[in-house]
Structure 1
Amino acid sequence: MAQSWTKIKEINKGKHQVCRLTKSLYGLKQASRQWFAKFSTTLLSHGFTRSKSDYTLFTRFQGSSFIALLVYVDDIVLASDSVDAIKQFIQFLNNEFKLKDLGDLKFFLGLEIAQTSKGLSLCQRKYTLEILEDYGLLAVKASKFPMETNLKLSRHNGDVLDNPASYRRLVGRLLYLTITQPDIAYSVQTFSQFMDTPRQPHMDAATRVLRYLKSSPGQGLFYPANSASHLKAFCDSDRAGCLDTRRSVTGYCVFLGESLISWKSKKQVTVSRSSAEAEYRSMAATTCEITWLLHMLNDFKIDHSQPALLFCDNQAALHIAANPVFHERTKHIEIDCHLVRDKFQENVIRPLHVKSMHQLADLFTKALGSNLFHSLLSKMNIINIFNVVSS
């Protein structure tokens, strides 16, 4: 462990002296880094391999057993196909560090985990109810969907909020809630654009999201126990959706079999000159995510020799991906063209067309009506486990 230095003053003699610390003190800026360095070094010496895609993930294959370890500061999650391997490793950690075994995973960083023979579910029901309680909306009338259809917010319309801190805190808490509720991802990324000067229409729209959460606070993700290990992704864009900058919104969702494992709703960094360009930039972002996920699957020794399926509802964008000839209208997006085409030629992705009515990524690019919104939710395995149990 690296040594820390601090300067102290000897009061009695009035002299300045330097004290060398044999270990890092709790509360210093470098304490967390030193802790992780010591912890990771211990794991690596015990046969673990650190993932290059996520430095907090460690895996070990020893004989017929497999152990995956995920660390967040001093909270650790272990997963293995062998109960004996878990017990032995916990005993090893207990000898090296002082730790407390909390048993089967049920609660982690605000996430509530439920495991059955049918699969695993994730939700943040307690966290959601705390938000509703803080804003006095536990008894409010619930809304069936989070945002009014085709609602467009601007940073120039409406009165400026007297207390912007309340809006900023709410958006921050909703942002953490998107970990298990991708159904509010589009709404939250929209609200995040007005953090500097929030106005009353922004707060009203955010309050509607809370009313939607009131309808199903236990809603979350469900991962079936028996699912294929093949990646498929849906990408979409809403061209010039931002009224202030005229930038488009990129939205995508990635599935491993039938399990939703990654999604994003984000405003693009540049203005697209056509719908094909906006869709193609969305394809490029999704391709990057697929490439990263393939590296993660490799860490778990999961063979993914088949190309990942990439569904897009824009024929022009698909032709750009397949056509090796650069045209005048696409030369300004050359880097994205090379990225998607290279992965296409390397058989990493396989772009396919999907009808707009079956485009799941619509959930991340625009505000939808109740029927279409809930139809897409059901296809993503986003359920309310408490309703399922009660029924």
Structure 2
Amino acid sequence: MQVFHLKRKGITNKVRPKAYEGVFPGYSLESKAYRVLNKYTNVIEESLDLAFDETPPPKSKPLVDDDVIEQEAIDLVPLPSEQNITGTKWVYRNKLDEDGKVVSNKARLVAQGYNQQEGIDYDETFALVARLESIRILLAYACAKSLKLYQMDVKSDFLNGVINEEHENDLVIVQIYVDDIVFGSTNESLSIEFSKLMHAEFEMSMIGELKLFLGLQIKHLEDGTFINQRKYIHDMLKKFGMENSKPMATNIKLTLEREGDSSNSTKYRGMIGSLLYLTASRPDIMYSVCLCARFQENPKVSHVEAVKRIFRYLKGTMHLGLWYPKFTGVDIMCFADSDHGGSLIDRKSTSGVCAFVGVCLTPWFSKKQTSVALSTTEAKYVAMGRACAQVLWMKQTFIDYGIISSEIPISCDNKSAIDLSKNQILHSRT
């Protein structure tokens, strides 16, 4: 709906307009005010001084989605018998940069998938996304080879074209996460050629050099790349009312409480979900967050207090992140470790695995083991097995980069577990 935003303050010239034209997207969630998109500044503002233009629009022909027709992504077919129709909903959001400024306004038509049941309405789902580990590996590889990475935004998610381009001596690397594309090349001219090719083949917009991707703030410096989520932490603290909390250190030991006071499980899961996404650049909180995530079914007050301790710790460490120096090589080194019976509930152990590309920390995780280890050797051996699976995935990933690794070392601080992994006969005993 078209609206006019009345400017009651700051008018010093009679020639200047007293109102600005805008668009009314909805109501404010934090105050009793309207939200209006200023067409001149391209910024959403909140105000009570609005005048609505209720003049009915002129009659015209039905709207036609030219983009969909051009790409021939949708075919209208009759409804199959005994099938339900899934509703749709328009989702509007503003895409912001690392400084919080509006870059673009996006509108998406999404299906209400929560009305469907697996096995009845669908059999499997698929989304074209890249693992966050692969994004970090790409950043580490770019630092090692001094590549410049770029980012493109897809206007429409229907990518059904075919691109046939080959280059013999150079490499073009592309990572796709739904409608965001990161790419780079060993030859700068190929990056420019790829962006022109994608813009001609699909509806895409060139954002420029990679600076903000999936909440990761990426700063390219002369001697390396720094990755953190400072803006995400600030928004997360504000969302859960912890922006004015005092910083503190954290040391968590939790157990299952049956007699304690229960807490709001929905809010607790939201806090855990936000923290889990933050671990994309903060391995220092991985163990604590995963420990708190074990109590999402029936969280108690003590569990919420432990999560708030993590928030307060993040309040004082918003500047921390990952540092990827340049020209450090692409050799892979993996480390595996585990405690023994660390869980106070079922005495299961927790495995911890991390890997480096050169000196750049790329993948890491902390996971509770599925069975009770009878000894420290067995717990460490299970952790080494998880590390081996991670290394095999990284080895396959580097084949796409043209790098073939014959042997990748896995380090562990338990000699018995190392000897057990080398002895194929004793595998059946653990």
Shared topology, TM-score over 0.5?
yes
Q: Equivalents in 2 of 1:309, 1:68: separation in Å?
A: 26
Match of 2:159 in 1: 39
**Which AA in structure 1 matches 2:265?**
P
Match of 2:418 in 1: 318
Shift of 1:39: 3.0
Q: Given the superposition, is the C-alpha separation of residues 122 and 40 from structure 1 closer, same or farther in structure 2, using an over 3 Å criterion?
A: farther
Aligned match for 1:125, one of 230, 236, 244: 230
**Does structure 2 conserve the Cα–Cα contact (< 8 Å) formed by 1:147 and 1:209?**
no
User: If each structure's helix is expressed as a fraction of its own residues, which one has the higher value?
Assistant: 1
**Does structure 2 conserve the Cα–Cα contact (< 8 Å) formed by 1:235 and 1:286?**
yes
Match of 1:235 in 2: 336
**Which AA in structure 2 matches 1:320?**
L
Match of 1:265 in 2: 366
Shift of 1:222: 1.1
Aligned match for 1:154, one of 234, 252, 256: 256
**Does structure 2 conserve the Cα–Cα contact (< 8 Å) formed by 1:155 and 1:197?**
no
Map residues 123-272 of structure 1 onto 2, 5 A cutoff.
123-144=228-249, 146-148=250-252, 151-156=253-258, 158-161=260-263, 163-272=264-373
Aligned match for 2:191, one of 64, 67, 86: 86
In terms of Rg, which structure is larger?
Answer: 2
Match of 2:57 in 1: none
**Does structure 2 conserve the Cα–Cα contact (< 8 Å) formed by 1:153 and 1:243?**
yes
Match of 1:70 in 2: 175
Shift of 1:322: 2.3
Shift of 1:331: 2.6
Q: Given the superposition, is the C-alpha separation of residues 33 and 108 from structure 1 closer, same or farther in structure 2, using an over 3 Å criterion?
A: closer
- Structure with the larger RCO, 1 or 2 (CA within 8 Å, 6+ apart): 1
Shift of 1:4: 5.6
SS of the equivalent of 2:351 reads strand
Q: Equivalents in 1 of 2:287, 2:126: separation in Å?
A: 34
Q: Given the superposition, is the C-alpha separation of residues 32 and 270 from structure 1 closer, same or farther in structure 2, using an over 3 Å criterion?
A: closer
**Does structure 2 conserve the Cα–Cα contact (< 8 Å) formed by 1:157 and 1:199?**
no
TM-score, length of structure 2 as denominator length: 0.63
Q: Percent identity between the aligned chains?
A: 30
Q: Equivalents in 1 of 2:358, 2:188: separation in Å?
A: 26
Aligned match for 1:279, one of 372, 380, 383: 380
Q: Equivalents in 2 of 1:41, 1:189: separation in Å?
A: 41
Q: Given the superposition, is the C-alpha separation of residues 301 and 193 from structure 1 closer, same or farther in structure 2, using an over 3 Å criterion?
A: same
**Does structure 1 conserve the Cα–Cα contact (< 8 Å) formed by 2:335 and 2:355?**
yes
**Which AA in structure 1 matches 2:223?**
K
Q: Equivalents in 2 of 1:88, 1:292: separation in Å?
A: 30
Match of 2:398 in 1: 297
**Does structure 1 conserve the Cα–Cα contact (< 8 Å) formed by 2:157 and 2:178?**
no
SS of the equivalent of 1:287 reads helix
Runs of 4 or more above 4 Å deviation: 1-4, 28-38
Shift of 1:26: 5.1
Q: Equivalents in 2 of 1:128, 1:200: separation in Å?
A: 23
Match of 1:5 in 2: 77
Q: Equivalents in 1 of 2:343, 2:272: separation in Å?
A: 18
Match of 2:150 in 1: none
RMSD after superposition: 2.6
Map residues 309-388 of structure 1 onto 2, 5 A cutoff.
309-326=409-426, 331-333=428-430
Shift of 1:296: 0.8
SS of the equivalent of 1:102 reads strand
Deviations along 1:78-124, one digit per CA (max 9) or x if unpaired, are: 11122211111111111111111111111111111111121112111
Shift of 1:158: 2.9
TM-score, length of structure 1 as denominator length: 0.69
SS of the equivalent of 2:321 reads strand
Match of 1:107 in 2: 212
Q: Equivalents in 2 of 1:93, 1:46: separation in Å?
A: 11
- In structure 2, list runs of 5 or more residues that go unmatched: 1-72, 81-107, 114-121, 129-153
Q: Equivalents in 1 of 2:190, 2:301: separation in Å?
A: 55
